[in-house]
Chains A and B, each alone.
Chain A
Amino acid sequence: MTQPASRLKRRGALWVVPLVGVVAVATVWMTMHEAGSETSSGSTGQQQERAEGILGYKPEVRDIAKAKDEVNSISSRVLDWMKVRGSVTEPSAAAHKCEAVDPDFTKYYVVNHPWSVYDLKKGSFDEAMDNLRKTLPEKGWKITKDGPMRTKDADPEIVAVQPDSHHTLTVQWLKPARPGRKELISVDVDSRCFRAPEGVDPYSG
């Protein structure tokens, strides 16, 4: 028992050198990281350029209520395309921070709407997934993934993107994990990053 321990210690001593290096690099990077996160610095133009550098696109200036409406309306169309009837969870789309550009949530935002449909009264989950497979491309959506999730249950998952509006759609048919649990289709509709109009705080809307 003593031998491996001493071997471990010797190996440990050798580790210190690169480790100290990593700490130093991390410290420098962290300083840069923090300095870079100050979105409020610079002119609007500079902020937008910086955002484009990170995201690969220039975030559009968009009214928050309008951006939420768009996502809500996609959600209701997706539900129509499923052609099933059942209970649907209540909450509506909400704005969240665009982490990569503005972790302090002062100017940039994304919109996300998570919802699910369960307790079907008309149609089946299987049909709902099939209907989406058929209708999404017809409506101009591009399916980027259609296959099982990488879990033991291997629940079916469809991911799609709208090439013009850049909204993404994630649909997961979650079969009951345990007896007594509800079967449901979970849906997420997400937008790209937007910039709030001048003078509007995206956090408080």
Chain B
Amino acid sequence: MKYQTLAALEPADLDKLVDGFRAASDMGSHAKDKLNDQVAPKMREHLDGAAVKAATAQVGKLSDNFHYTQVQCGLIRTNIQLLKEALEEARKKLKNALADAETEGLKVNPDGSVDYPSAGDKDDDGKRPEGGTATGYTPSTPSRENFGLGSSTRDQAAALERQANYQSDNPKAAKAQAIADDIAAAVHAATKADQTYAPVLRRLKADDDLNVSHADWADARKDTAASRKAAAKIGADLPPLPKDGSPQDNKKWWDGLSQDDKDSYVALHPNAVGAMDGLPADVRDEANRMKLAETKGTYETQLAAIPKPPDKYILTSQGYVTSVEWEKWNKKYGDRREELEDKLKGMDAIQKRFDKTGKDGLPEAYLLGFDAKGEGDGKVILANGNPDEAKHTAVHVPGTTTNIKSIGGNLDDMDSLWAASQKKAPGEPVSTVMWFDYDAPDSIGQYIPNTGNAGHWAEDGAPALQKFMQGTEAAQGGADASHTTVSGHSYGSTVVGQATKEHGGLPADDIMVQGSPGMQVKHAEDLGVGADHVWSVAARSEDDVLVREGGKMMGLGEGGKIPDDIRFGAKRMEPGDHASLLFGHSSYWDEPGGRESVSLRNMANVVVGNYGKVETMPEVGGTK
């Protein structure tokens, strides 16, 4: 790039492009939301059977197209915006240098070098210092002109010349050199920005078919990475991310950003924004949906690249045997394929919840956290209804064996809790959140005998839960903004108990546990919300007894006490009749025949603060 090119450039012209892409991205976002939150729900309300399936599938495809448009245009907008800012800064620098040259009466040559005249006054030695030309310094890179050779000698020569100018007897020489350096630096910065962004913007050109494929989404992820790299390379002027900030710090930081910077952050750093506690729910949702779509595209693409397995059994003279080809295939691809399929199953479950919005009045879903890997089993945080606007918020921690593969069941539980709670507090927005961001034990057996510290999953998961709760409170606007219940099922209750021990405690009004094997505290009072606001429900079924007694045995309850013990001091809720004598540990949210179970009704009454309508167990006559 020549300096005249830069001087003639009007970066502000790019504003029109930025605005255009912003409008396109907003249109995509708006159209997508309208399809998801209005059109599809109406269809589900008014159509039945196969018709609704076919119609909503088409709407889903269209919505996916708009989502892709939103993401890609948002990324293009951010790239052009950052390119524009870089060019503007370079141009400003150049203009200042040119203005300086004019003031000093120095002539700028087409190659950016600056001529200076001989000095008017004679020196001490009676000679007039001679005029000359100052050439600006550019950090040289191996290029075609010098064949990648001699750059250091060239640099050295240039450096010597510049040094000479700065120390010259001719006062104009130093000035000319400074101006030439500024011009060179400006041209260099502009060239670098141009060269950095040209390939990024070229790669953002979508193919021209109407179908957004898995590969397109996988590509979008790479586009984001490339854009992020470009921004780092040119030193884009984005305020830095808060380092290890508290959720309150995060909120303050976000609130202080300009809309442009917010948009750029969502486009370039969806992972960081989506995971940041304290940020508004709709922002996190936007970022995480982007991450979800891109991850799904990437995983589907990888899965499709795995060759089909050969026949597992082949007939030989000894009858059917496992084929060597299959064994080879299985060794190479078996585990990977299973992993990809499991994670995709979880992602599909999230999508299924998105598609349920509007059914039986279910509100919009907010994906507050997503990662296919997370702490090992994956990470999914999903809210029914916007927690930032909720009058009643319930955050639920699922327990043992929770895994992204089976997350659909946990999401269903929170749908049921939402419906039951909202019914009990009409006009008071309820949000129920499924929080899964810890490495859950894979089986009850894992914390039964001799596996060392049975509480370590809870100790590892508790800080993240506490931070999430603090973030929720910050985003809601303080402790009094929403009546908050933290809920824990099975080992999830151990995580909840542990989180109350974190510095600062757990910001909650009520704590409620189902089938708890122990909460790492001796007494309900120790949880910090008052024993009157600690609620426990325990099914009468064998599997629930097994979990509770197993936990008690392993010391998950301090002093051998667990929430179902009368001496623990929690309010023990009536569990109702469970499906069978053996299985009831996972039936707390059941709606047999479309009616909320007794346990679900009781939990919902806690969530909306209807304490007087909770059916509790008699506190006398127990043997515990």
Q: Do A and B bind each other?
A: yes
Q: Chain A: residues with CB nearer than 8 A to chain B?
A: 4-5, 8-9, 11-13, 15-16, 19, 22-23, 25-26, 29-30, 33, 91, 94, 96-100, 110-112, 114, 149-153, 155, 174, 177-178, 181-182, 188, 190, 201, 204-205
> Is there an interface contact between A19 and B448, defined as CB atoms closer than 8 Å?
yes
Q: How far is the CB of B604 from chain A (nearest CB, A)?
A: 11
Which residues of A sit under 8 angstroms from B448, Cβ to Cβ?
Answer: 16, 19
A150 in contact with B612 given A94-B594, A96-B591, A204-B50 (CB within 8 Å): no
Of the residues A11, A25, A98, A178, contact of B609 by C-beta under 8 Å: A178
Q: Which of B347-402 contact A (CB under 8 A)?
A: 360
Q: Which chain B residues lie closer than 8 Å to A112 at the CB level? A: 593-595
A110 and B594 in contact (CB under 8 A), knowing A12-B554, A16-B449? yes
Question: Contacts A177-B424, A204-B48, A204-B49 hold; do A11 and B553 have CB atoms under 8 A apart?
Answer: yes
Our pick among A4, A15, A16, A96 for the contact of B559 (Cβ within 8 Å) is A4
Considering the complex, give the chain A residue whose CB is closest to the CB of B608: A177
CA of A96 to CA of B597, assembled, Å: 14
CA–CA, A12 and B551, complex, Å: 10
Flag whether B408 is at the interface (Cβ < 8 A). no
Least CB separation from A193: chain B residue? B593
Partner of A205, one of B48, B424, B590, B595: B48
Also in contact, A19 and B574, with CB within 8 A (given A98-B593, A99-B593)? no
Look across to chain A and name the residue whose beta carbon is closest to the beta carbon of B52: A204
Q: Which residue on B lies nearest to A14, using beta carbons?
A: B553
Residue in B closest to A152 when the chains form the complex, CB atoms: B612
Which residues of the other chain, B, contact A4 by a CB distance below 8 angstroms?
559-560
Find chain A residues with CB under 8 A from B611 CB: 152, 177
Other than the given A19-B546, A25-B542, A26-B543, 5 more pairs (CB < 8 A) read: A4-B559, A8-B553, A94-B594, A151-B612, A174-B613
Interface residues of B in 566-617 (CB under 8 A from A): 574, 579-580, 582-583, 590-595, 605, 608-616
- Sampled A-B contacts (16; CB under 8 Å): A8-B553, A15-B553, A23-B444, A30-B582, A91-B360, A96-B591, A96-B593, A98-B593, A110-B593, A114-B594, A114-B595, A150-B615, A174-B613, A177-B424, A204-B50, A205-B49
Q: Does B88 contact A (CB under 8 A)?
A: no
- Determine if B425 is an interface residue (Cβ-Cβ < 8 Å): yes
Q: Establish whether residues A8 and B449, one from each chain, have CB atoms under 8 Å apart when the complex forms.
A: no
User: How far apart sit A8 and B560, CA to CA, in the bound complex (Å)?
Assistant: 7
* A30 to B546 Cα, complex, angstroms: 14
Q: Across the interface, name the chain A residue whose C-beta is closest to B591.
A: A96
Cross-interface CB contact of B613 among A5, A100, A155, A190, cutoff 8 Å: A155
- The one of A30, A97, A111, A178 that contacts B610, using a Cβ cutoff of 8 Å: A178
Evaluate contact between B425 and A26: CB separation under 8 angstroms: no
Q: Is the CB of A19 within 8 A of B549?
A: yes
Contact A151 B615 (CB under 8 A): yes
Once A16-B449, A110-B594 are accepted as A-B contacts, the answer to whether A99 and B613 lie under 8 Å apart by CB is no
Q: Does B274 have its Cβ within 8 Å of any Cβ on chain A?
A: no
Find out whether the CB atom of A153 lies under 8 angstroms from the CB atom of B595.
no
| Chain A residues in 8 Å Cβ range of B554 | 12
Indicate if B117 sits at the interface (CB-CB under 8 A). Answer: no
Binding site for A on B (CB under 8 A): 48-50, 53, 360, 424-426, 444-445, 448-449, 542-543, 546, 549-550, 553-555, 559-560, 574, 579-580, 582-583, 590-595, 605, 608-616
**Contact A182 B615, CB 8 Å, known A110-B593, A112-B594, A190-B595:** no
The A interface, classified by DSSP as helix, strand, loop or mixed, is mixed
Q: Which residue of A lies closest to B425 (CB)?
A: A181
Q: Shortest distance in angstroms between A63's beta carbon and chain B's nearest beta carbon?
A: 14
Give bound CA distance, A204 to B613, whole Å. Answer: 35
Known contacts A12-B554, A26-B546, A188-B595; A177 and B613 CB within 8 A of each other: yes
Partner of B426, one of A29, A33, A178, A182: A182
Known contacts being A4-B560, A5-B555, A150-B574, is A26 close to B542, with CB within 8 Å?
A: yes
A149 contacts across to B, CB distance below 8 A: 613, 615
Query: How far apart sit A15 and B546, CA to CA, in the bound complex (Å)?
Result: 11
| Smallest CB separation, A105 vs chain B (Å) | 11
Q: Which of A151, A153, A181 has the most CB of B within 10 A?
A: A151
A165 to chain B, nearest CB (A): 15
Shortest Cβ gap from B400 to chain A (Å)? 13
Q: Which chain B positions have C-beta within 8 A of A16? A: 448-449
| Inter-chain contacts of B614 with A (CB < 8 A) | 151-152
**Which of B554, B582, B605, B613 has the most chain A CB atoms inside 10 A of its CB?**
B613
Contacts of A98 in B (CB 8 A): 593
Q: Would you list the 10 A-B pairs with minimal beta carbon distance, nearest first?
A: A112-B594, A96-B594, A177-B610, A153-B612, A204-B49, A152-B612, A12-B553, A110-B593, A15-B553, A151-B613
Determine the distance from Cα of A27 to Cα of B48 in the docked complex, in whole angstroms: 39
Bound-state CA distance A112–B610 (Å) is 24
- Which A residues lie within 8 Å of B426 (CB)? 182
Residues of B close to A152: CB separation below 8 A:
611-614, 616
Chain A residue contacts of B360, Cβ below 8 A: 91
- Chain B nearest CB from A102 CB (Å) reads 12
A-chain residues with CB within 8 Å of residue B591 when the two chains form the complex: 96
A178 to chain B, nearest CB (A): 6
Q: In the bound complex, how far is the Cα of B555 from the Cα of A23, in angstroms?
A: 19
For A15, list chain B residues within 8 Å (CB). Answer: 549, 553
Q: Could you tell me the distance in whole angstroms from the C-beta of B614 to the nearest C-beta in chain A?
A: 6
With a 10 A CB-CB cut-off, give which of A9, A100, A114, A181 has the most chain B CB atoms: A181
- In the complex, what distance in Å separates the CA atom of A25 from the CA atom of B542? 10
Shortest distance in angstroms between A79's beta carbon and chain B's nearest beta carbon?
18
Contacts of B546 in A (CB 8 A): 19, 22-23, 26
Within 8 Å CB of A204, what residues of B?
A: 48-50, 53
By beta carbon, the residue of chain B nearest A9 is B555
Task: Tell me the bound Cα distance from A53 to B550 in angstroms.
Answer: 34
How distant is the Cα of A178 from the Cα of B449 in the complex, in angstroms?
Answer: 47
> Are B612 and A177 touching (Cβ within 8 A)?
yes
Within the complex, the shortest CB–CB distance from A29 to chain B, in Å, comes to 5
Chain A residue at minimum C-beta to C-beta distance from B618: A150
Task: Across the interface, name the chain A residue whose C-beta is closest to B444.
Answer: A23
Tell whether, in the assembled complex, residue A177 and residue B583 are in contact, meaning their CB atoms are under 8 Å apart. no
- Residues of chain A contacted by B555 (CB below 8 angstroms): 5, 8-9, 12
Residues of B within 8 A of A155 (CB): 613
Contacts of B449 in A (CB 8 A): 12-13, 16
- The CA-CA distance from A153 to B424 in the complex, in Å, is 14
Expressed in whole angstroms, the minimum distance between the Cβ of A92 and any Cβ of chain B is 12
B49 and A99 form a contact (CB under 8 A): no
Q: How far is the CA of A30 from the CA of B543 in the complex (A)?
A: 11
Establish whether residues B593 and A190, one from each chain, have CB atoms under 8 Å apart when the complex forms: yes
